[in-house]
Structure 1
Amino acid sequence: MPYMIETWDKDGHHDLRLEVRDRHLAYLDAHEQSLLACGAKLSDDGSFASGGLYLLDVDDRDEAQSFIQNDPFHEAGLFQRVEVTRWRKAYLAGKREI
């Protein structure tokens, strides 16, 4: 079942984001079968990330929470806040799902 995970970075931790980014991307690559979509939330000019959004298809909330807790960004202490919400696919990739 799909879950939406939204994260907010701690203020002043942009350098930490950049330092851990390669490990974070490798983690995402290792879990690509569960990812419907994900990416950083950017400033209007695209130069600064301040959190992220993950759309994840897993069996239950515990698996979604485990996924984000094991993300190198989370392990490094980047996130100020994390919200895990069950999500319904209505449209995905331009296709109606319901």
Structure 2
Amino acid sequence: MPFLIETFDKPDLQALRLEVRQQHLDYLNANVDILLACGAKLSDNGETASGGIYLLDLDSREEAERFIKGDPFHQAALFDEVKIVRWRQAYLNRKNTL
């Protein structure tokens, strides 16, 4: 069952985000088998990230919680808020998957 995780960065921590970014990317690469999609939420000009969206193929909310707690961004206390919800995939890559 897919889960959606949405993260919201604490204000004024762009430097921390950039400092930890490579560790975060390494973590994503190490977990690529459960990633359906993920990416940063950006400002309108595309220059500043303020959080992220993760779509994960996991069996339980507990697994989703473990995943996000293992993310170097979470461990560096970048996030102000994290939302985890079950998600129903309907379209992926412009194709109906129902």
Distance in 2, Cα, partners of 1:2 & 1:96:
16
**Which residue of structure 1 aligns with residue 43 of structure 2?**
43
**Which residue of structure 1 aligns with residue 73 of structure 2?**
73
| Identity percentage of aligned residues | 59
Name stretches of at least 5 consecutive residues in structure 1 with no aligned partner. Answer: none
Quick one: which amino acid aligns to residue 50 of structure 2? S
Distance in 2, Cα, partners of 1:95 & 1:63:
27
Distance in 1, Cα, partners of 2:39 & 2:19:
17
Q: CA RMSD in A?
A: 0.5
Runs ≥4 residues deviating over 6 A: none
Could you report, residue by residue, the CA deviation over 1:51-83 in whole angstroms, capped at 9, with x for unpaired residues?
000000011110011000100000000000000
**Which residue of structure 2 aligns with residue 61 of structure 1?**
61
Name stretches of at least 5 consecutive residues in structure 2 with no aligned partner. Answer: none
- SS for the counterpart of 1:39 is strand
Quick one: which amino acid aligns to residue 37 of structure 2? A
**Which residue of structure 1 aligns with residue 52 of structure 2?**
52
TM value normalised by structure 1 = 0.99
